[in-house]
Structure 1
Amino acid sequence: MFCPECGTENPDSARFCGNCRHQLSGMTGGSVGSQDNAVVEVGSEKKTVSDGMKYGILAGSLIIPFIGLIMGIIYLAQGESEEKKDVGKLWLYGSIGIIVFYMIISGDF
C-alpha cells in the first residue's frame, strides 16, 4: 500500500505510514496479530544520526570548538526530528563549554 501523503510503500497491514506517519485508510479490520505487526513496523525507525558522527563531531570540537558550534546551529535549525535537535544541542553546548574551558585555562576569561 502506498501512502497518499508522501508516496512511500508500506505493508498492507500498516495503519500509519512508516515515513511521514500519515494514517493509512486501508486498515479496516483484520486479526489482532496483523495489527500488532503494523505497530511494530511503524515504531521501528532508521537512526538519523549515527553514534560515530555524534561523538566524532564532539571529539573534533575538542581540537576546533567551532566545528561543534557550527554543526550544532545547523542541526538545531534544520532538525527534521527530535533526535537531530538533541544532537545539535549536544554539539552546541559541548563546544560552548570547551570554548569557555579554553578561555579559563589561557587566562583570557
Structure 2
Amino acid sequence: MFCPECGTENPDNARFCGNCRHPLATASDTPASQPSPPVVEIDSDPAAVSDGLKYGILFGTLFIPFLGLIMGIVYLLQDSTEAKKAVGKLWLYTSIAVMIFYLAFSGEF
C-alpha cells in the first residue's frame, strides 16, 4: 500500500505511513475478520534521560570523574531539552566535586 501523502510503500496492514505518519486506512476499510495491529504507546517525553542512565553515569563519575565531565559537557552543549541540560549540569558538577575531593586527599592540593 502506498501512502497518499508522501508516496512511500508500506505494508498492507499498516495503519500509518512509516515515513510521514499519515493515516493510511480507516476502521471501516479494515476487514472484520482481521485483528487490528497492536497499538504501540509512545513515551510522552522521549527526550528525557532514563533514571538508569542518569544514576549509572553519576555512579561511574565517583570512580572515573572524566566520565561525568565529558557527559555533562556533551549534554549541556547539545541543542536539547531542559531535562537533558539539568542532568548534564548534575554530572558536570558532580565530576568537578569528585575531582576536587580526589585532589584534596591526594596531597596535591
- Partners in 2 of 1:83 and 1:68 — Cα distance? 16
Contact 1:79 1:85 in 2 (8 A): no
Alignment RMSD: 2.2
Larger Rg: 2
Alignment TM-score, normalising by the size of structure 2: 0.58
2:63 is the counterpart of 1:63: yes
- Partners in 2 of 1:62 and 1:95 — Cα distance? 7
Q: Deviations over 1:20-77 (max 9, x none)?
A: xxxxxxxxxxxxxxxxxxxxxxxx4346200110010011011110000000000000
- Partners in 2 of 1:75 and 1:62 — Cα distance? 18
Q: What 5-or-longer segments of structure 2 have no aligned partner? A: 1-18, 23-43
Calculate percent identity across the aligned residue pairs. Answer: 59
Alignment TM-score, normalising by the size of structure 1: 0.58
Contact 2:74 2:88 in 1 (8 A): yes
2:96 is the counterpart of 1:96: yes
Letter in 1 for 2:66: F
Q: Deviating runs (4+, > 3 A) in structure 1?
A: 7-10
Q: For this pair of structures, how many residues does the alignment match? A: 72
Q: What 5-or-longer segments of structure 1 have no aligned partner? A: 1-6, 11-43
